[in-house]
Amino acid sequence: MAPDDLVVVFGPRTALAERLLAMDWAARDKVVLVARDPQEASFLSSRYPRAEVLTGGDARSAKRWPPTVRAAILIVCAFGLIHPAAPDWARHARVMSRDREAIAAVIDRCRHCRVTLIFVSTALAAAPGENRAYYVGWKYLSEAILKNLVATHDGARFRVLLPGRLVERRTLTQPSSLLHTSYDALARVIVKTARAPKARRRVVGLDARALMMVRGIRLLLSGTLGGSA
């Protein structure tokens, strides 16, 4: 990310966003954190005094928007349904609508600069299982909504990261953690993607790649056995 780029973070209270904002690049003036509500905005203003903290509707106000922006990088750490949950269409649809409006406002504010939007989804969206159908369905919907929003901006770039399980740290004392991705490692991937966004969709983590391989083999065997039945 270039020094004069504007970086906008959605889901700034997530563990991933905390790692991002602890990196060297965040020691700049052109960082905007988008809060869900005034209470979260108050917390973020205290935690990150160098950043501009806005709620979704504030993004449409020129008074609180950083001037002279050449390029904007929108990092979506949280959007819509964040974790697997029991089906509740009405509530989750309201959350999705709220988040969509916030991102739409930011994209509209950035209409005169180059935009790159990075959406952190989940590897389950590339290799879904039946027991996570509701959650993965929302992830598919989130990606489609964001892609459509980006399409309203000429020349904007849309990138999707598909990590497996995220952990605080990888350690030999917990061998299974070596297969997963740490928040710090994913934060570095996000920064690298922002600097040289080549791949449109990227699977992140050994467990994510293994999941895709296993699901692919199962589908292949299922199709083969089904065809021979």
DSSP 18: H
pTM: 0.86
- 65 occurs within a structural domain: yes
How many domains is the chain built from? Answer: 1
- 1 occurs within a structural domain: no
State which amino acid sits at residue 40: E
Name 119's bridge partners: 76, 160
Q: Where are the alpha helices (DSSP H) in the chain?
A: 15-21, 38-47, 89-109, 133-151, 183-195, 206-228
Q: What is the pLDDT along the chain (229 residues), one digit of tens a residue?
A: 676 789 999 999 999 999 999 998 888 768 999 998 899 999 999 999 989 999 877 777 666 677 767 889 999 999 999 888 999 999 999 999 999 999 999 998 888 889 999 999 988 766 666 678 899 899 999 999 999 999 999 889 999 999 888 777 656 566 554 566 889 999 999 999 988 766 688 888 777 667 666 665 555 555 555 554 4
- 201 occurs within a structural domain: yes
**Contact predicate 73/119, CB 8 Å:** no
Residue 144: what pLDDT?
A: 96
**Contact predicate 142/79, CB 8 Å:** yes
- 90 occurs within a structural domain: yes
CA distances from residue 122 to 48, 151, 202, 209 in whole angstroms, order as listed: 27, 22, 10, 12
- 111 occurs within a structural domain: yes
Residues 6+ apart with CB under 8 A from 212: 123, 126, 127, 203
CATH of the domain at 224: 3.40.50.720
- d(C-alpha 24, C-alpha 71), whole Å: 19
- 33 occurs within a structural domain: yes
- 53 occurs within a structural domain: yes
Residue 176: what pLDDT?
A: 58
Domain that holds residue 137: 6-228
Q: Where are the alpha helices (DSSP H) in 68-205?
A: 89-109, 133-151, 183-195
- 221 occurs within a structural domain: yes
